[in-house]
Chain A
Amino acid sequence: MPARVLGTFGDPGGAARAILALREAGCGEVRAAMPAPFPEVVAALGKERSHLGAITWTGALAGLACGIALPVTASLAWPLFVGGKPIVAIPAFVVVFFELTVLIGSLTNLAGSLALGWSRGGLAPLPGGREFHGDRIGVFAFTDDPARAEEVLRAGGAEEVQRV
């Protein structure tokens, strides 16, 4: 099991530089925890984009399907003439199509983002039990060569470096 080294930074720029250095140094996997999605840090980690889009799109399409199915089947279930309009009055139903698309789409989006955020130990406390919501950014290196990692982190300007 690889050792885990944590370096804390006060400034996103510094954290980003340190992360790049760690990756150049091939210090295993690098992760970060931060109070806000600092673009430079995210960029430095260079992970591929989230797959949430696929989930949300399916949700939206499912919503559209329900949106079409509900008014059409309901109107056909009891075909009453109102105002001389056809039983299946598409223009009138468009509103329902749209609203259900949005509703089910966003709910899937919520469910999807939660699931993804909680998966891969997302719910587990961070190594060392510290939280980084306040004014610090934590950079974790999972490496077999902790010494090197600590060195790189210090060189990167970490305020403190520790093994966790």
Chain B
Amino acid sequence: MPGDHEGVSRRTFLRIAATAGAAGAACSPPALPQKLIPFLVPPDEIIPGRPLFYRTVCRECPAGCGVTARTREGRAVKLEGNPEDPIGGGSLCARGQASIQALYAPDRLDGPRRRGADGKLAPIPWDDAEEALAAALTAAREKGPGRIRLLTRSEPGSAGAVQKALLRGLGGREGDRVVFEPFDAAPLRAAEKALFGVAQLPVHDLAQARTVVAFGADFLETWLSPVELTRQLSQGRGRVGAERTRLLWVGPRMSATGMSADRWIRVRAGGELPLALALLRWLVEPGHLPDLAPAVRPLSPRLAALDPTALVRRAGVRLEDVDALGRELVARRPSALLGPGVASQGPEATQLAAVLLLANVALGNVGRTVLHGLDPMEDPPSSFADVKALLDDCAAGKVDVLLVHHADPAGALPAALGAGGALAKVPLVVTFASLPDATGAQAHLHLPDHHTLEAFGEVSPRRGIVALGQPVMTPLADTRAAAQVLLELAGRLPQPATPLPGDLWEFFQARAEVFLKPVAAGATDVRPVLRTAQERGGAYYEAAPGPVALDASAAARFLAPPPEAPPPRTGELDLLFFPTTLRGDGQGPRPTWLDEVSDTVTTVSWTAWAELSTATAARLGVVAGDVLAVATRAGRAELPAYVYPGLRDDVIAVPLGGPEALALLPGDTDPASGALAFAGARATVAKAGRRIDLPVLEGSPYQEGRSIVKNVSAAAPAVKRPDLSARMYPEPPHPVHRWAMAIDLDKCTGCNACVVACYAENNVPVMGREAAVMGRQMGWIRIERYLGPERGKLRPDFLPMLCQHCTNAPCEPVCPVYATYHTPEGLNAQVYNRCVGTRYCSNNCPYKVRTFNWRDTKFVRPLDLQLNPDVTVRSKGVMEKCTFCVQRIRYAEGVAKDENRPVADGEVTPACAQTCPAKAIVFGDANDPASRVSRLAAGPRGFNALEEINTRPAITYLARVREEDP
């Protein structure tokens, strides 16, 4: 990342500090000045045309990846991973990339609002709002404890601390503050607590694992820390032979994670637990695992009592599968057994988690790939049961004031719970959401929080990491940091129980004294340490994982065979809910980029859908696009069908993150952990008699026998390539650079992070659902997901498809006006203002990577503030396409020129390569034989797309490795 450190210089920091300082000075009523004071003499680091980088942290999910925000002329234009951050490792997922859209969302609340008697929201000054709220709180406090409740997202940092302090000050009880994280791995915590005594989340090191088995844990999508786990997995990918990390996917549906797997064990819905038990039983069987961990030995008799045939029958697999799985795990150690994930989180989720942990212990994975003692356990999410209890209290009128902090129960809880009705019973619902969401629609008082990019804050996602958030720009609207508002409230309360500083900055610094200790090394003044930490994006220090002791007696409780599920009634299918990166958990409005980009597995965008297997669809006479009426005992929903061969015939699958799934969710719990049971439901399916045009990106999901995406194996480690030595004309000269890219298909997980990054970097317009139906998405890079080599054969492949920057580009000679040509640096340039829009280039592009501007795009204010000033916004009637982020190339070349040195390898990174969590995309100069891209492209796995037509692309794909099972 060029220019980071000069990016956040002393001056910058002082400026920010000054702001907050000013805030401090003016703290307590009268309200703070919330605007940065414009400079008469501009600070020297703000140079028009030069980006300025700030380090902060992503709050889209609890993983807490580090972020580098690129600002231009005082506004954030792009988010990227923070390379120094151990979690994100310089990458961001699709959600993280899109989070900047919330900052510039046109419907963002621009100030506090109060719902009047007429039910309409009316603007109200901050003072009055806080005054009113303070009054309400005081009144509620009089009535005794429990009248004031707080529903918040997990806030392992200042914000959380302030919340706790305030509630304490209001005489609240422990349970009055409910932490809401719909996808929290509560069963795993519960199992840890039961087995090892501590309710912590393990941290994984998959880079050490030789075989990873995911029991419905979509760790490449939403599970625990997807970006980190993706990176770890990819470290073991991209080599042929025994040293390559194998991934096995266990579940009734082949998820995106399953598509990256080497083998899919198609257990029936809820079959993960029986399989896990059978596996554990197999492992402890004498002679199978020579150095069986002593801790689990005592369990052997209990396990031996289990009937393996019954278990495998329940799992819907064969004994040989267990045998094969067991033998592989024994042979390939260390390994990692992951689960349960949301998709496999059923009524026995805790037992599944426990059994998997036991298997990890048995295999000696604990301490090597499954690490403990790294969960700071700072603000762990409450269980679903607690959330339900809160709603019940609300419904029962036991709550006077409900403060909602970045939580959207109405938008993410099963409709069966009637969250909406419960909220209606609360006299005063206060939301700090900065965007209108389902909960906000029922709130009486809106106190919009800053966006993460506008506020200070810190989160400690894990021991050894305190990620620091800082404002990267002036707040756009009249918003206020929620924690700051709480502090001010505390100030307004009569006789505050616990004295709190009136200003968040002071509070934050006080905390810094504590959380910086490990890095301060006994420094008296912690401020410079804090400054350095903020420049780096966080305080990072060594935190060693600790040992855990297995409580065998507790473990024994988890070895009982799960209760037999009742046989499905006729016409009933197992209903599988699964999460996707793009749709998320359904809280709050979804950034349009995430709606526009196509789902990895189905390539559907802009709508929810229901998946049926090919056979089941045929049985029901359903084709893609037919609207299905899906009904559970909780409710019914109408969803368009998508026919997906990667699904068991006895299952219908519905994505989470939308009202349809919520309508169908029964809202049962896993009693052991109190977690919401997503799995275990059954549904009846019927045709609704309508059909819609399903917005899918794919034409044919199969390669039609054209072997477009090559594979290699240990048996055949090299791709067979056609002989293209014959030349009709000399190659055009590339005197200095010849930019090229290598994409490792063995690492690519089809996560779509690159796609969203490209939207953000290159001002790619969002076209909407109609356009998606017509195939008019404007994305410059798309994930071509092929389900198989020919029709009916399931063997998924990902092919990230972007402009190949061919040497013999077919698009170039057909343009009558030279609007596209081959630059001396090997780029296929598109000259927008020369293009007349014949569209011949697209017709002649065998890769179909050129997009046409069917209309003028309007970037509604303030979305236009996000536009990258280095990239033209294209007008109607012109062609556009991937430029290899030519603006970044020029920038790096410019920097190198100023320092008069050649451009170093890796100095230029297109947005897609920069954010790739799997580090599958490598960019560089093909003229330099030593560059990474040259070396990768020269490797045996290298091939070009449609090589046989001799377009000679600058992009080399590295074939995915297919290992036949050992």
Instruction: Enumerate chain A interface residues (CB-CB to B < 8 A).
Output: 78, 80-86, 92
Contacts and interface: CB of A to CB of B under 8 A. Distances in A.
Nearest to A80: B821
Contacts of A86: 729-730
A79 to B, nearest CB: 10
Assign chain B's interface to a size class. 10 to 19
Interface string B807-849: 1111111110010111000000000000000000000000000
A87 to B, nearest CB: 10
Contacts of B732: 81, 84
Contact of B729 (A78, A80, A85): A85
Contacts of B820: 82
A81 B818 contact: no
A82 B841 CA distance: 12
A82 B811 CA distance: 8
A81 B821 contact: yes
B952 interface: yes
A73 to B, nearest CB: 15
Contacts of A81: 732, 812, 821-822
Contacts of B952: 84
Nearest to B731: A84
A82 B809 contact: yes
Contacts of A78: 818
B818 A83 contact: no
A85 B810 CA distance: 10
B812 A82 contact: yes
Shortest beta-carbon contacts, A-B, top 5: A82-B812, A83-B813, A84-B808, A81-B732, A81-B822
Interface string B782-817: 000000000000000000000000011111111100
Contact of B808 (A80, A83, A92): A83
Contacts of B729: 84-86
A90 to B, nearest CB: 12
A92 B728 CA distance: 14
Contacts of B731: 84
A78 B821 CA distance: 12
A82 B821 contact: yes
13 contacts: A80-B818, A80-B821, A80-B822, A81-B732, A81-B812, A81-B822, A82-B813, A82-B820, A82-B821, A82-B822, A83-B809, A84-B732, A86-B730
Contacts of B821: 80-82
A27 to B, nearest CB: 64
A6 to B, nearest CB: 59
Contacts of A84: 729, 731-732, 807-809, 822, 952
Nearest to B952: A84
Interface string B327-349: 00000000000000000000000
Contacts of A85: 729, 813
Nearest to B812: A82
A134 B177 CA distance: 110
Nearest to A87: B732
Contacts of A92: 813
A92 to B, nearest CB: 8
A86 B952 CA distance: 16
B248 to A, nearest CB: 45
A92 B820 CA distance: 18
Nearest to A82: B812
Contacts of A80: 818, 821-822
A92 B807 CA distance: 19
A92 B811 CA distance: 16
Interface string B705-736: 00000000000000000000000011110000
Interface in B728-752: 729-732
Interface string B85-116: 00000000000000000000000000000000
Contacts of B812: 81-83
A74 B543 CA distance: 68
B342 to A, nearest CB: 49
Nearest to B829: A80
Select the residue from B732, B814, B818 with max chain A CB neighbours within 10 A.
B732
A80 B810 CA distance: 15
A81 to B, nearest CB: 4
Contacts of B813: 82-83, 85, 92
A116 B150 CA distance: 102
A80 B731 CA distance: 13
A81 B824 CA distance: 9
A82 B818 CA distance: 8
Contacts of B822: 80-84
A100 to B, nearest CB: 17
B488 to A, nearest CB: 63
A134 to B, nearest CB: 51
A152 B172 CA distance: 138
Nearest to B844: A83
Interface centre among A82, A83, A86 (most CB of B within 10 A): A83
A86 B731 CA distance: 9
A84 B812 CA distance: 9
Nearest to B813: A83
Given A82-B815, A83-B813, 13 more contacts: A78-B818, A80-B818, A81-B821, A82-B818, A82-B820, A82-B821, A82-B822, A83-B822, A84-B729, A84-B731, A84-B807, A84-B822, A85-B813
A83 B822 CA distance: 7
B773 to A, nearest CB: 33
Nearest to A86: B729
Contacts of B730: 86
A83 B810 CA distance: 6
A39 to B, nearest CB: 48
A82 B830 CA distance: 12
Contacts of B808: 83-84
A84 B560 CA distance: 69
A114 to B, nearest CB: 34
Nearest to B815: A82
A101 B731 CA distance: 33
Contacts of B818: 78, 80, 82
Contacts of B809: 82-84
B833 to A, nearest CB: 16
A80 to B, nearest CB: 4
A81 B822 CA distance: 5
B835 to A, nearest CB: 14
B537 to A, nearest CB: 43
